[in-house]
Amino acid sequence: MDLRKFKRAVMVILLGITLLFLFNLFYLKGLADAMHAEAERVVQACIESADSKELQIRLQKRRAEPKAQHSTIIIEKQKDRDSIVTMRNVSAGERHLTVVSVVPAESPYIEFEQLAREVRTSIHTQIDDTLPVDLRALDSLLNAELRLRGITLHVDHSEIVDELTGRVIRSSARSNASTSGHVATYPFNLESGLSYRVFLPSLTGVVLRQMRGILFTTLLLIVLLAVAFRYLIRTVMQQRTLEEMKDDFTNNMTHELKTPIAAAYSAADALLNFRQGEDPVKREQYLRLCMEQLTRLGGLVEQILDMSMERQRTRELRLESVDIGALFGRLTALYRLKSDRPVHFHTAVLPADLTLRADPDALSHAVGNLIDNAIKYTPGEAEVSLAARREGTFCILTVSDRGIGIAPAVAGRIFDKFYRVPGGNRHDVKGYGLGLYYVRQVAERHGGRITYAPRPGGGSVFTLSIPL
């Protein structure tokens, strides 16, 4: 996939997700506003209901008084008036009459609400002076009404306020009463301009509880979408990285294989076409060169085959008792001869007769790869330290050097197949990105692991842990 097309596709998807998220936020805000307004209407209805019940309690108390003067409320229907409900107070001797005129409206519900409001206003006008409103009882009744409607809010306190002057006439507030949160105002006496002012906690919690299902599913969908998109991007980038590493491997392998082929071809051509074979010294020299290059070529091919995943999966481990000291001796002697520059080895095995049950060939190739890397990535004379020790039920093998080291940013990827450290893809430092991958495969097939750590003062330390 072309990188530019991939970037454009990613940008389009990100833009779509962003627009979807913004639309969802806009929708949720509108829904929250609507639910908040509905909660305010419910609170108003609760205050109205609590006021009616508080009036009933006071009326019962007043009827129980022996000398109480009772008022009469007369309700009359009128059909030729424009207003729905009107109210007037009249006196007939010692009796106080309240006449409420009701005009039928299109909605009986509206007619009833208007009537009930006028009746409550009349009752407040007649009894509030002699029997004041019990605000504590009103708070209790309001709490009960809120619970009945599923609103888990507790009234902090309430007040009676003169809307004309803004003066607080009476309050049920305690010393530590709160004035924050939601404030609901309900006019209960239109004639005198008196209103209830009720202090409640914020309605936001009520709205959030009502919306928790929608919010949870929305958040879950967003998280799932983000995770899926991240997984998609990561998978695509890994595939691109793998393709790039395969291309890098192919280029390096081609160069590595062509070099000994070209050298052997040149030597054979000199012997056949330029009469170099007539000179015994030169003939031996060119034949030896051919043998060296062909041996090198065979070793490269065998190394590639050994490192292939398919071969590692099918090849069974041949476990034997391996003498670590003898293994280090063979490898140090081999790499002194193979290296084109001086190499200084330091070995330490504790105890000296330390042995390990492992596949001798696989273990030798794994440790050899670590030594080869230590030599290749050390400028000038190389200094390599080999150490082995017993630690519990594990044998700990370490290979350290004083080379260029590995940047922390890429240290976590050095054991991946085909991966080469950036800057290491040079023809003076040969490799396919398979050496450390092969070491990890050997360690894991033996039930162990391989780790990397920077060496203090510069260089690298590779630790191979394998069960005894």
- pTM comes to 0.45
Reply yes or no on whether the pLDDT at 1 is more than 90: no
Last residue of a domain, one of 307, 327, 346: 307
pLDDT value of residue 66: 63
Place of tokens 């003939």: 283
Query: Residue 364: CB partners within 8 Å, gap ≥ 6?
Result: 327, 330, 331
Helices 108-127 & 3-64, crossing angle to 10 degrees? 50
How far apart CA 254 and CA 157 sit, in angstroms, is 86
Mean pLDDT of 396-402: 94
Provide the token pair at 86: 């009107």
Backbone φ and ψ for 131, nearest 5 degrees, come out as -135, 90
Same domain, 34 and 106: yes
**Residue 100's pLDDT band (boundaries 50, 70, 90)?**
very low
Q: Is 138 inside any structural domain?
A: yes
Same domain, 286 and 427: no
**Residue 313's pLDDT band (boundaries 50, 70, 90)?**
low
Q: Is 249 inside any structural domain?
A: yes
User: Which domain CATH number covers 215?
Assistant: 1.10.287.130
pLDDT value of residue 430: 54
Reply yes or no on whether the pLDDT at 231 is more than 90: no
Edge-to-edge strands, sheet with 168-171: 168-171, 157-162, 194-200, 182-189
Mean pLDDT of 237-251: 68
Q: Is 193 inside any structural domain?
A: yes
pLDDT value of residue 388: 95
Q: Is 231 inside any structural domain?
A: yes
Q: DSSP of 324-390, one letter per residue?
A: HHHHHHHHHHHHHHH-SS-EEEEEEEESTT-EEEE-HHHHHHHHHHHHHHHHHTS-SSEEEEEEEEE
Same domain, 149 and 30: yes
Same domain, 243 and 353: no
**Residue 411's pLDDT band (boundaries 50, 70, 90)?**
confident
Same domain, 165 and 301: no
Alpha helices in 128-203 (DSSP H): 135-148
Last residue of a domain, one of 170, 185, 206: 206
Same domain, 277 and 422: no
Domain that holds residue 442: 317-467
Name the average pLDDT for the chain. 79
Express as a percent the part of the chain with pLDDT over 90. 18
**Residue 255's pLDDT band (boundaries 50, 70, 90)?**
low
Q: Is 93 inside any structural domain?
A: yes
Reply yes or no on whether the pLDDT at 300 is more than 90: no
pLDDT value of residue 462: 95
Last residue of a domain, one of 188, 206, 224: 206
Query: How many domains does the structure of the chain reveal?
Result: 3
DSSP-derived secondary structure letter, 71: P
pLDDT value of residue 3: 59
201: closest CA among 313, 93, 43, 426?
A: 43
User: Which domain CATH number covers 385?
Assistant: 3.30.565.10
Same domain, 211 and 191: no
How far apart CA 424 and CA 377 sit, in angstroms, is 9
Reply yes or no on whether the pLDDT at 184 is more than 80: yes
Place of tokens 């006439």: 169
How far apart CA 206 and CA 212 sit, in angstroms, is 10
How far apart CA 386 and CA 393 sit, in angstroms, is 20
pLDDT value of residue 299: 67
Backbone φ and ψ for 198, nearest 5 degrees, come out as -110, 130
Same domain, 268 and 296: yes
Same domain, 195 and 211: no
Backbone φ and ψ for 397, nearest 5 degrees, come out as -110, 130
Give strand ranges (E) for 81-130. Answer: 85-92, 95-102
Whether the Cβ atoms of residue 199 and residue 155 lie closer than 8 Å to each other: yes
Same domain, 452 and 323: yes
Reply yes or no on whether the pLDDT at 83 is more than 60: no
Same domain, 48 and 194: yes
Reply yes or no on whether the pLDDT at 64 is more than 50: yes
pLDDT value of residue 248: 67
Reply yes or no on whether the pLDDT at 136 is more than 70: yes
165: phi > 0 → left, psi -120 to 50 → alpha, else beta; which? alpha
Q: Is 312 inside any structural domain?
A: no
**Residue 423's pLDDT band (boundaries 50, 70, 90)?**
low
Q: Is 285 inside any structural domain?
A: yes
Q: Is 51 inside any structural domain?
A: yes
Same domain, 352 and 338: yes
E strand or H helix at 430: none
- 458 or 305: whose pLDDT is higher? 458
